[in-house]
Structure 1
């Protein structure tokens, strides 16, 4: 731990900044985690793309298909490969609360910077607020590491801004990945001020949120390593321009990425997000690899369409 529990918020304000990316996990054809491939990707993301932090073992990383030992190993690889050059936030989300705590303690012990926990899926519940508050409080009580909330539709409900603001008062809550309509995250941002970081995964909204809400953290999805190469870092460029208050220039650079965004959007099958992301990584020269069941692989026809769109989108390799 690089900070005490009562220093978590201050530490996150100072160090949890810039572009953080959610890692896709490369799996080998036999289903094993491709550790060497993951390490190569992490080095590229940090050394070539200057990504400031990595979100490990989340939905992009197919945590739902991984065993607890595999998720722990995933944490260890990321901490080792980042080596203090980039931050780490480990998804310890699980429906089993004991598993959440086991993974949270492992993340804390292996040197992770923060953890993220998504709101639990609740059955037959029409008023989740007290359940969810006590859920996060129990995690905060059990560990010292900084914790990010994570609210998304997969839970079956969305945490209200009022609930999130209440939870943000807990001592080691440092951020929220808030996958909700913009009106909700705008309201929460105004409610919490700089007490915690508020962020959402939408890259197309990132620039607006820097300018209008003074956000300083993109937390996080795969665009940071899918829209960029070592010789074409336009997401990083427009972010830096926006942080410097040069919004007109930032918008010009951001708009130039529209063909890349459209190439990804128009070729991604609705039921194959991870497989599409991994194939796009392979086209970029990164390690993509296989997906795990129950996720589906791309067909040859889908790969051809994606490759053709990739070649025409204007990304410089």
Structure 2
């Protein structure tokens, strides 16, 4: 029975075995029977099991890794994760950083040092500063006073001396020597010689007047008015002399207003009572007479002065284009 079952089993395992392998098949059957009979004994089974274990140990003595080989799906996931991480890092780097407005620290308050009191200037420094101020003011007045054109010699003597000096200066003689030498000759001029130099002087005088009037007309009436005011200051305050302080003659200028005293003096001078009396002496006498007048008598000259002042204000505005100082309309 046992043999028959074994044969059936072998037939099922090797259904297609050829006839020329019968000897091998018989050996296989014999080995299987012996193995089956031997495994029925407990000791034999234990030895067989131990033998199998001893054969299995050398086979697994080498090191093995517990990690499973990376599959295609795992690799794809890893690649996607790395790409996503790189993209996130790039976006984070490209995103503009928020500006943090740092609060400005308040500037520390500076200590205000007490100003050191200036030392008083010495007398020499004060004098120097005053002299500089005076020099600046003097130059300003000279500039405003205007400079007249140079005049030609307009007398017979000046014409003669100018002519002699030009010829004698070449010899190196001084003006005093020229005057001492040629002065007596001028005194002994014949009528013809004197008439010659008088004629030259008259020509120069006419030329001077024409040039002077042309120079005056180059300036406005207001400029001439301010120039005369500057010349008056140069004469009174700075004590200058010469043509620079002579009043400029201009028919366009407004005649100054006269006060009550000058109205009285003008009337008395026209009467002829002070004819032949020096001006200074006549002025003293007329002033004494005016002071001796009663209030009623002075009223006449005061009214004349008020009318003349009104006339002055009106003409001043018309000629100079501005109000005069002291005009009530100018201060209103």
Q: What is the TM-score of this pair, normalised by structure 1?
A: 0.19
Structure having the larger proportion of residues in strand? 1
Q: What is the TM-score of this pair, normalised by structure 2?
A: 0.18
Structure having the larger proportion of residues in helix? 2
